[in-house]
Amino acid sequence: MLTQTTKQEFYQALLTKNVHYEGLFFVGVKRTGVFCRPTCPARKPRFMNCEFYKTAREALLAAYRPCLRCRPLSHPNQVSELVRSLVEAIEENPEK
């Protein structure tokens, strides 16, 4: 069980999108039913609407679904094929 102090620490990391907390916790948002990484670019929920989990599995078992923006079930440094192909196109022809 997480202490109130730990929850406050995790919430501050969420607000600042602190990359040092990546992989240490996930946040479930009660109002949306979605869980995210601490670095998610989505609008930040109020503290009272957050539930914190140590693993994605715990969030899934609590009936949260993965966020479509930060994709908490994928590797944090993984880049989609679309993004990869766009970057390659820009590198090949930067003036366009």
Q: Is 67 a catalytic residue?
A: no
Active-site choice (36, 50, 67, 70): 36
Sign of CA dihedral 63, 20, 3, 7: negative
Phi-psi region at 7: left, alpha or beta (left = phi > 0; alpha = psi -120 to 50): alpha
Identify how many contiguous H helices and E strands the chain contains and give both numbers. Answer: 3, 4
Catalytic residue numbers, as ranges: 36
